Amino acid sequence: MIRLDAPRAVSFCDGTTRRDFLHAGVLAPLGLSLAGYARATAAAKAEGKPDKDVNCILMMLVGAPSQLDTFDPKPNAPAEVRGPFAAKPSKVPGFQLSEILPKIAEHTDKFSVIRSLYHTATAVHDTGYQMMQSGRLFTPGLEHPNIGCVQGFLKGGRGELPAHVMVPKAIGRTGGNLPHGESAGYLGKRYDPLILNADPSAPDFKVPDLLPPDAIPAVRGDRRQRLRAAVDGSLGAFENSAAAKQMDDTFALAYRLMSSPKARAAFDLAQEPVRVRDRYGRTRFGQSCLLARRLVEAGVRFVTINMFETVFDELTWDIHGSRPFTDINEMSRVIAPNFDQGYSALLEDLTQRGLYDSTVVAATGEFGRTPKINPAGGRDHHPGVWSMIIGGGPIKGGRIIGESDELAYAPKTRPTTPGEVAATIYRAIGIDPHKELPGPQNRPIPAVDFGVKPIAELF
């Protein structure tokens, strides 16, 4: 995946030291996910319907929220199961949420909740990330592509902006040392997402390598571009190779990003009024939500928001109850309010700006939590059942899909798999979920397994 920061400085002959802006463009192994967009294929079709130009914002609630303490409260369960929080009514009659999400409860008409999501793979974070972001589980030698990467591969980017941007950072260490489903996998690194790799809530936030620094005139970038063109003209066979083509594509797009006023503006949170930034919350997650709105509004098709980078040594949704993890009360005081404010502000903002009808917004963890509170005052990993929320675009709001049993331990009705969620998102953004993609050795692989269908009740 391509990162917008560079880990080291470089020196030019005039003595100026800066991060190498080409870090974002010419290192083909990093795979700037913008390279092949100019060669986008014909629009895919979704379930026989004409293609819709719909965006997606996917929130990965890293650590895995407890279904009981968020979207599937069980007020009649025993105290050690229902937990310390009350179930509260929402805007939609019969649609209860936990009391720790009061702002989101005012918007249940805008999204639906899936309460019967489950998987049967190993109960580690990494497998959940893979399945929720690609619809499939990684197998040795075959890493399936992220949904946003598939969208970029099939549809390309809009103008000077990337098709898929990940903010604020990629998911890091979570204990499994497995792929996280964030890359383009077998489609190739050129379709990987563009990773911000910076905290948008920082007072001095900027995208480090989006532009040459003030000390280097823009004309210098033009001079470097002309020099490259002259050098390329002398490289003969290399110029016609696949590696050279990928380098040319990534360089050109990196250069366009750096020299484009539209791209600069899309990433520039300083252009937002103070009241708007405050409305989202001056947290990493809140400002990531605001940045996602700006990116979608500017033309980015798919934005992934990772709420956290790791589950270790910081407060997250991973509420085992003892260090280096979080307990339920810490989650309710810090994590839930951050999510409640950022997510609800995003829904309001997208709606007010007329963007929600063309933008799917989904928020999910990688699995659920054990119903019974453990001796440390937390809940442990439980892929047996969990909840997620999704709305926007063609997705209906105010609906409850499936239900868990009385203890939120297993699905009771309409068991739903991550593959079905992926198929639903594909359909919503106008892509046939069974579109065959060019896998290794040109072996066609459907985006989602044949037989796995979108969740019809959401349309």
pLDDT in tens, 117-153: 999 999 999 999 999 999 999 888 899 999 999 999 9
| 40 in any annotated domain | yes
pLDDT of residue 250: 58
Angle at CA 110, nearest 5°, toward 109 and 115? 80
Picking from 407, 456, 445, 458, the residue whose alpha carbon sits closest to that of residue 135 is 445
Percent of the chain at pLDDT above 90? 72
What proportion of the chain, given as a percentage, has pLDDT over 70? 78
Q: Is residue 375 part of a domain?
A: yes
Asked if the model's pLDDT at residue 268 lies above 90, the reply is yes
Mean pLDDT for the stretch of residues 49-78? 91
What SS3 class is residue 403? strand
Cα 129 to Cα 1, 183, 275, 359, 378: the distances in Å are 16, 11, 34, 22, 21
Is 385 inside any structural domain?
yes
Q: For helices 125-134 and 418-428, what crossing angle results, to 10°? A: 30
125: left (phi over 0), alpha (psi -120 to 50) or beta: alpha
Note whether residue 238 is domain-resident: no
The pLDDT, as a whole number, for residue 31 is: 37
Give the residue from 360, 455, 446, 447 showing the smallest Cα distance to 417.
455
CB 60 within 8 A of CB 339: no
Whether residue 7 is contained in a domain is answered as no
Give me the chain's average pLDDT, please: 85
Radius of gyration for the alpha carbons in the chain, expressed in angstroms and rounded: 22
Kindly list the distances between the CA atom of residue 242 and the CA atoms of 253, 347, 426, in Å, as whole numbers in the listed order. Answer: 17, 43, 29
Range(s) of the domain holding residue 51: 34-212+261-458
Other Cβ atoms within 10 Å of 83 Cβ, number: 21
Confidence at residue 226, expressed as pLDDT on a 0 to 100 scale: 59
Confidence of residue 207 (pLDDT cuts 50, 70, 90): confident
For residues 236-244, average pLDDT: 51
Q: Is 168 exposed, middle or buried (0-12, 13-18, 19+ CB in 10 A)?
A: buried
* 101: pLDDT strictly greater than 60: yes
Structure tokens at 76: 């009649």
Which of 91-100, 259-268, 435-444 comes out lowest in average pLDDT?
Answer: 259-268
Stretch 59-76: mean pLDDT: 98
- Does residue 186 carry a pLDDT above 60? yes
Q: Looking at residue 51, what is its pLDDT?
A: 45
> Which of 228-232, 328-332, 447-451 is predicted least confidently?
228-232
Tell me the average pLDDT across 352-356: 98
More confident residue, 153 or 229: 153
Q: What is the pTM of this model?
A: 0.83
Task: Specify the CATH number for the domain of residue 350.
Answer: 3.40.720.10
Domain count across the chain: 1
Is 120 a member of any domain? yes
* 25 within a domain of the structure (yes/no): no
pLDDT at 239 over 60: no
pLDDT score, position 140: 82
Band of pLDDT at residue 208, cut at 50, 70 and 90: low
According to the model, what pLDDT value does residue 332 have?
A: 97
CA distances from 274 to 277, 291, 337, 349 (A): 5, 14, 20, 14
Residue 35 has pLDDT above 50, yes or no: no
Lowest-confidence pick of 10-14, 211-215, 340-344: 10-14
Q: Which of 29-38, 210-219, 238-247, 419-428 has the lowest mean pLDDT?
A: 29-38
pLDDT of residue 38: 34
Is the pLDDT score of 252 beyond 50?
A: yes
* Highest mean pLDDT, choosing among 173-187, 227-241, 415-429: 415-429
Q: What per-residue confidence (pLDDT) applies to 57?
A: 99
Residue 209: pLDDT band (50, 70, 90) is: low
Indicate the SS3 state at residue 306.
Answer: strand
Mean pLDDT of 424-430: 98
Answer yes or no: is pLDDT of 194 > 60: yes
pLDDT of residue 52: 65
pLDDT(218) > 50: no
- Among 133, 155, 144, which Cα is nearest to 42's? 155
Confidence of residue 40 (pLDDT cuts 50, 70, 90): very low
Residue 236 included in any domain: no
Q: Which residue has the higher pLDDT, 228 or 247?
A: 228
On the question of pLDDT at 32 being above 90, the answer is no
